[in-house]
Structure 1
Amino acid sequence: MRRRLGRVGGLLGIVAVVLVTGFGVRSDAGVDPRAISPAADTPSVRALRIMPLGSSSTVGAGSLGTAGFRWPLESLLARDGIAYDMVGSQQSGPAAMPDRDHEGHGGWTMARMQPLVAGWMARQRPDVVLLQVGTNDLITGVPPAVVAQRLDTMLRTIRSTSTAGVIVAGVWAPLRSRLPARAEYARLAAAVVARHRSAGEPVTFVDTSTLLGPGDVADGLHPSAAGYRKIAAIWEREIRSFVTIRH
């Protein structure tokens, strides 16, 4: 669902780019984003289509009242003046949340997602994919090398069906019983993303393995509201970089 949001403050680099391209940033400073209703794109602004793609943390398990990282992220994008449209086949989150669309599927492994990825890309046409996968694969005992191969396959599928930039986050769940596998997957996932990046693809890897502290986890697996705020800040930083570089 498209949201057109007011700009508060600077981001001069992004604004300078958007003045030329008309992509993603509005100029109605000081407007409360909750007071702006969805509307069609104007000739000067095209909303950035963002697909949060993952499993239960994308849904928001551990902090359903904030829809996990999604509502805090929307607040940060509103502050930045980035007009966004969250996209996906799923909807969840508090009724007051500006945009409840996402592609989060609780409990799913990459193997279960893979047959559907091409269709999601074709139907939703994202500009940016926030990809956080691999946790459930590791929990179910899939070897890290196989999980990394699944990530490679998913990135290839996204690239074959979409021009979207992909921001890949590592596993942020503690997985205390799977620490060696978690660490090995982080290394392999970074290498997979580096290969795609060296081929000229708009993809980046964010290592989130040390992001969450003891007070940032709600149930031993999913982040708390505080943890999700940290995750939202990571996504927001990478989205800003994407807008600046690509446009």
Structure 2
Amino acid sequence: MVKFAALALGLLSIATQVCAQNTVKVMPFGASIVSRCWRADLQTQLRAAGVTNFDFVGSQTGKCAGTNIDQDHEGHPGSLATDYAKNGNLTVWLDKNTPDVVLMLVGTNDVLIGKKPVSDILAAYDTLIAQMRAKNAKMQIVFSNLLPLDPARFPAAAVQGIVDLNNALKTYVPGKSNLESPVVLVDNFAGFDAVKDTDDGEHPNTVTGIQKMASRFLDPTSDAIVAASTASEASVVGDILGRGFHKRRLLQLQQQQQQQQ
């Protein structure tokens, strides 16, 4: 028993050393707002908070200023969540860069361009989340609501449509969460000024907008990275201990056979 305990502690030590080097893949996913440089500010804030074991992934790259900024993302301007769900775009991107964490902000174009009802957009979210979990059952999903629109620049129906969808997300997002694959709601609507914090009434500006978004994303993203890293550690430890058990069992069987001979 003492030898087994020592062996287990040794294996755990090895697993911990291996897992300390693990990098968590983070995929920012959505449309044009995701392509903006709040991602760079978020990375800077994460590192300042001591969270450094991340790799932003995606087929798109940006030109955001900053030190050691990972430019990769899946923010495709003009895209609709309903089109993503219908066309299967996300499954292709997940295959190419399978993430541990998804930062999701998509739906503005469904309201503004597609004029989709809330029910259709929520159904699209169902499909997208299912696609994420089909690729990674332990996907950590950081789900942002939508930024407000400037009522002086956009139709009243679109402005209200954003409000209606965000209200629906208050119950929708918690309902999609589970222990294995949490979905956490980020509120980028409250406190965001569509006049002062955007450069066109819709997209965050570099003066105040991207900083506000990064600050809202910071804690949920940090928590998701830690959770994904912890899940990875548990998997490695279990794998190492499992292999150790099977090796010990094989040795026992061999010893029994020798004794019988």
* TM more than 0.5: yes
Superposed counterparts of 1:151-166, under 5 Å: 151-162=125-136, 163-166=138-141
Displacement, 1:198? 4.8
1:240: which partner in 2? 222
Alignment of 1:80 with 2:49, yes or no, is yes
Residue 119 of structure 1, aligned match among 92, 102, 114: 92
Residue 53 (structure 1) aligned with residue 29 (structure 2) = yes
Q: Is the 8 A contact 1:173 1:222 kept in 2?
A: no
> Larger deviation: 127-136 or 188-197?
188-197
Matches of 1:21 and 1:157, distance apart in 2: 30
**Partner Cα separation in structure 1 for residue 80 and residue 63 of structure 2:** 22
Q: How many residues align?
A: 204
Equivalent residue for 2:186, pick from 193, 199, 206: 206
Deviations 1:161-194 (A, max 9, x none): 2232001100013253223221221122232222
Tell me the CA shift for residue 245 of structure 1.
Answer: 4.5
Equivalent residue letter for 1:228: I
User: Which deviates more, 181-190 or 130-139?
Assistant: 181-190
Does the 8 Å CA contact 1:52/1:58 hold for their aligned counterparts?
Answer: yes
Q: Could you tell me which of 118, 121, 135 is aligned with 1:147?
A: 121
Please name the residue that 1:31 is paired with.
none
Structure 2: state its 5+ residue gaps.
1-12, 231-261
- Call closer, same or farther: CA 1:128–1:179 in 2, change over 3 Å: same
Structure 1 pair 95/181, CA: closer, same or farther in 2 (3 Å)? closer
| One-letter code aligned to 1:215 | K
More helix as a share of residues: 2
Q: Which amino acid aligns with 2:58?
A: G
Identity of paired residues, percent? Answer: 24
Structure 1 residues 22, 242: closer, same or farther in 2, change over 3 A?
farther
Q: What letter corresponds to residue 129 of structure 1 in structure 2?
A: V
Shift of 1:86: 0.5
**Corresponding residue for 1:221?**
202
Aligned AA for 1:238?
A: P
Quote the offset at 1:69 in angstroms. 0.4
TM-score for both structures, normalised by structure 2: 0.71
Match of 1:34 in 2: none
Q: How far apart, in 2, do the equivalents of 1:187 and 1:20 lie?
A: 47
Counterpart in 2 of 1:134?
Answer: 107
CA contact (8 A) 1:77 1:84 kept: no
Residue of 127, 138, 145 corresponding to 1:170: 145
Aligned mates of 1:212, 1:77 — CA distance in 2: 21
SS in 2 for 1:58: coil
Structure 1: segments with no counterpart, 5+ residues: 1-18, 24-41, 61-67
Report the Cα distance in structure 2 between the residues aligned to 1:20 and 1:58, rounded to whole angstroms.
38
Partner SS for 1:172? coil
Of stretches 197-206 and 48-57 in structure 1, the one that deviates more from structure 2 is 197-206
TM-score in terms of structure 1 length: 0.74
Offset from partner CA, 1:61-94 (integer Å, 9 cap, x none): xxxxxxx201111111221222210100111214
Structure-2 change in CA distance of 1:211 and 1:128 (3 Å): farther
The residue identity in structure 2 corresponding to 1:125 is: T
Deviation at 1:21, TM superposition (A): 7.5
**Quick check: which has more Rg, 1 or 2?**
2
Query: Over the residues paired in the alignment, what is the CA RMSD in angstroms?
Result: 2.4
Distance 1:224 1:199, change over 3 A: same
